Each structure stands twice: as structure tokens, then as C-alpha cells.
């Protein structure tokens, strides 16, 4: 029995346009904790501290495999540990594909599913929380083991995250886990304030922990079409190895249901546990979030690249490829420059940048995507 970290690196990060593009999604941007470090590179480094470098895996789009090698490094994630998706089918398929691959390698494998594009401020606390989550996932509950998630202690009534509710007065187990009552989709600001005041809700971090065979069993119960495809892929692995499995995957994957693992599996399963986490987590979901992961100057501005700011406060200024970004007399703006696009948006509307991406798609301006 071994523990494995599976990094999901298939997201697009549309709210970080214009730097995040289809050819260079958010996880490959140099927004990691260390200078010049990509988000996925930071995720792989943190994961290796818990499971060891040889047990870090990545699921990514087939056309992003080379970018993973560049952003992470072959020493951090071996080529054989990168699983290529023929097309994007959301996270349930990606998680199932990883579970099938690792179950064939190790029938008792325990997996930690980690998004590729998160920022972690306290890496020591993060490692301890991951170990607690893995301990909980390996705990026997009758003839099964639980599905486990990590819930982030909320600091404000955020409307951009899903929430996890636990019952009042619950006592945590020795590994800190609590039984989950339900998952709640992104709430209104009024409901988010109620959640925060109750003390019974956590932000859904998108991190999940389980025995591979338990996840495959749940997929069989809740997503039979996906389960059937995974069964064929697993059989091909046993019969002909990775190459045979890749051929079956390429044939079956486009027809799989596109659903998140949250909605397709976790929200329908029983016996789910949540381990609270408090390690300065941020999903870097918008340019506004950059102010929470990068140090600000004396005027509260976060500046990346070559910038000049005069009489400017509480703004995010990002220069791409050496271009100068210069502002005078503004407050609360995000200004992001790339060689072919410039974004200007109030920081309070940074979550709306995806509307620009949608507009570009509708107008056929795909060169900017």
C-alpha cells in the first residue's frame, strides 16, 4: 500500500485572462510561492514533501504534456507519471482515470487529489493537514473506507466558493475529521454571511482523499457510463500496458459525461469526512486574489514586472513580457498587459473577467484565447 498525489492540471483559468490562455493556462503562470515558480511547480513540490517525488502524478490535456514537463521539471514528476486526457471532460473523468491507472499499479493505493493552481501560505501546516486527510481516508469503516475532503476555515463571506456543512457539536476524530452533512454550491452574499456566522461551514478546497478502489466503486454507483469506460481502460492496462490503455482512452474519452467529481460523486456519496485546514489557502481565482498572495507596496499596490505607479493605491499592476504598465491617480484597479491584449477592470469586478473570454468566443476572436 502506498500514497500518491494526483495533480489535476486541466483547468483554463479564464478569470486570469489575458495572461492565462488556452495554450498557457493559469497553472503554468509564474505565480508560485517562490520567484519564477509556476503554480503547478509549487503544487508538485508541496506534494512531494508528503508522498515522495516518485509518487507525484499529473493529469493534464494531451496538448499540455510538454508544458507540464517545462513547468514542473522531469526530476519533480517523471514522464511516466503524467496521464494525458484526449479532451477535457471535467474532473470526475480525470479523477476516475487516475484512480483506474493507480489501482492497476497498486490495488491498495490511497490518492490525494490536488488542484494544480492553488497558493499555500503555510506549507508546514499544509503538509500536516494532507497527512491527516490521508490517515482519515485509510481508516476502515466496516467493509469500506471513507471519502475525505479538506475544508478551509472561512475568513469572510465569500460567494465564489462552494461550502461544506458539518453538524453542530460534532467531535472530531483523532485525525481531526468531521462527518459531512452536505455540500452547498456558491451562495449569495446573504447566505454566505449566515454560513460564516454559524461556524458550521467550510470552503470547499477541491482537494479529495480516498482509496482508489473506493472512488471507483462510487463512480460505478453514481456515474455508470464513466465506470464502464474506466473498466475497459483498466482491462487494457492489465492486458497491454500503458500504450494499450491510451488507445482505449482516446476512443472512449470524448463520449464520457462532463461532470465535476464534486457533483457527480462527492455530493451523492455517504460516509464523507472533512478535515479542517488553516494554512493560508488561496485558489488564485482572479487578479484581485493576487493581492493576497504577493506582497504589496506601501500604497497597497501589487506590482508584477515593469510598472510605474504615481498617486495610485490598492491596485494590481501586471506587466507581461517586459512591457511597461504606467498608471496615475487611480485606485482599486487591475491593469494587466500582455503583448496582444490589455485588461483594465475594477478589483471588485475581477471575478467577471471570464465574461471577456465568453465575448471573445462569441465574436470568433479565438486568437486572443
pLDDT tens by residue, 88-116:
999 999 999 999 999 999 999 999 999 99
The Cα 369–Cα 367 span in angstroms is: 6
pLDDT tens by residue, 292-303:
888 899 999 999
> Is 321 a residue whose pLDDT tops 80?
no
Average pLDDT, the chain: 92
Higher per-residue pLDDT: 98 or 283: 98
Question: Cβ distance 309 to 315 under 8 Å?
Answer: yes
Query: For the chain, which domains are there?
Result: 3-282 (3.90.550.10), 287-368 (no CATH)
Q: What are the cell numbers at 1?
A: 500500500
The Cα 193–Cα 321 span in angstroms is: 41
Q: What are the cell numbers at 271?
A: 460516509
Stretch 173-183: mean pLDDT: 85
Stretch 220-242: mean pLDDT: 95
Q: Which residues contact 277 (CB under 8 A, 6 or more apart)?
A: 125, 126, 129, 150, 151, 152, 153, 205
Among candidates 81, 70, 103, which has minimal Cα distance to 7? Answer: 81
Among candidates 18, 27, 34, 101, which has minimal Cα distance to 70? Answer: 27
Among candidates 179, 97, 177, 172, which has minimal Cα distance to 130? Answer: 177
What is the CA 192 to chain-centroid distance, rounded? 22
pLDDT tens by residue, 28-64:
998 877 778 999 999 999 999 999 999 999 999 999 9
Residue 143: Cβ within 10 Å count: 5
The pTM of the full predicted model, rounded to 2 decimals, is 0.92
Q: What are the cell numbers at 185?
A: 454550491
Place of cell 479542517: 276
What 3 state SS string does the chain have? Answer: CCEEEEEEECCCCHHHCCCCCCCCCHHHCCCCCCCCCCHHHHHHHHHHHHHCHHHEEEEEEHHHHHHHHHHHCCCCCCHHHEEEECCCCHHHHHHHHHHHHHHHHCCCCEEEEEECCCEECCHHHHHHHHHHHHHHHCCCECCECCEEEEEECCCCCCCCCCEEEECCCCCCCCCCCEEEEEEECCCCHHHHHHHHHHCCEEEEEEEEEEEHHHHHHHHHHHCHHHHHHHHHHHHHHHHHHHHHHHHHHHHHHHHCCCCCHHHHCHHHCCCEEEEEECCCEECCCCHHHHHHHCCCCCCCCEEECCEEEECCECCEEEECCCCCEEEECCECEEEEEECCEEEEEEHHHHHHHHHHHHHHHHCCCHHHC
Please report the pLDDT score of residue 173 as a whole number: 67
Question: Cβ distance 18 to 368 under 8 Å?
Answer: yes
Question: Cβ distance 221 to 146 under 8 Å?
Answer: no
Question: Cβ distance 218 to 265 under 8 Å?
Answer: yes
* Local confidence band at 143 (pLDDT 50, 70, 90 cut-offs): low
Amino acid at each position: 500500500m502506498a500514497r500518491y498525489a494526483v495533480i489535476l492540471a486541466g483547468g483554463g483559468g479564464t478569470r486570469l485572462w489575458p495572461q492565462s490562455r488556452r495554450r498557457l493556462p493559469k497553472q503554468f503562470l509564474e505565480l508560485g510561492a517562490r520567484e519564477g515558480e509556476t503554480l503547478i511547480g509549487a503544487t508538485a513540490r508541496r506534494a512531494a514533501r508528503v508522498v515522495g517525488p516518485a509518487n507525484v502524478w499529473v493529469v493534464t490535456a494531451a496538448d499540455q504534456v510538454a508544458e507540464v514537463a517545462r513547468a514542473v521539471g522531469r526530476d519533480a514528476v517523471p514522464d511516466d507519471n503524467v496521464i494525458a486526457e484526449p479532451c477535457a471532460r471535467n474532473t470526475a473523468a480525470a479523477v476516475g482515470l487516475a484512480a483506474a491507472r493507480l489501482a492497476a499499479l497498486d490495488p491498495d493505493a490511497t490518492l490525494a487529489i490536488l488542484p494544480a493552481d492553488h497558493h499555500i501560505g503555510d506549507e508546514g501546516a499544509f503538509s500536516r493537514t494532507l497527512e491527516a486527510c490521508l490517515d482519515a481516508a485509510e481508516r476502515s469503516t466496516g467493509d469500506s473506507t471513507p471519502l475525505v475532503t479538506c475544508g478551509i476555515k472561512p475568513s469572510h463571506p465569500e460567494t465564489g466558493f462552494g461550502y461544506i456543512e458539518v453538524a453542530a457539536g460534532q467531535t472530531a476524530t483523532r485525525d481531526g475529521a468531521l462527518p459531512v452533512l452536505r455540500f452547498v454550491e456558491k451562495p449569495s452574499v446573504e447566505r454566505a454571511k449566515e454560513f460564516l456566522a454559524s461556524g458550521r461551514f467550510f470552503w470547499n478546497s477541491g482537494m479529495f482523499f480516498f482509496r482508489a478502489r473506493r472512488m471507483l466503486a462510487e463512480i460505478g454507483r453514481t456515474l455508470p457510463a464513466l465506470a464502464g469506460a474506466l473498466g475497459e481502460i483498466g482491462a487494457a492496462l492489465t492486458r497491454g500496458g500503458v500504450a494499450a490503455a491510451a488507445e482505449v482512452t482516446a476512443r472512449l474519452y470524448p463520449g464520457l459525461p462532463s461532470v465535476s467529481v464534486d457533483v457527480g460523486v462527492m455530493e451523492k456519496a455517504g460516509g464523507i469526512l472533512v478535515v479542517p485546514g488553516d494554512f493560508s489557502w488561496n485558489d488564485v481565482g482572479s487578479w484581485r486574489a493576487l493581492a493576497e498572495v504577493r506582497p504589496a507596496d506601501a500604497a497597497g499596490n501589487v506590482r508584477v514586472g515593469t510598472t510605474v505607479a504615481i498617486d495610485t493605491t490598492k491596485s494590481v499592476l501586471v506587466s507581461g513580457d517586459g512591457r511597461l504598465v504606467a498608471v496615475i491617480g487611480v485606485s482599486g484597479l487591475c491593469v494587466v498587459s500582455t503583448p496582444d491584449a490589455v485588461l483594465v477592470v475594477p478589483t471588485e469586478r475581477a471575478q467577471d473577467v471570464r465574461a471577456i473570454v465568453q465575448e471573445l468566443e462569441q465574436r470568433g476572436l479565438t486568437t486572443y484565447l
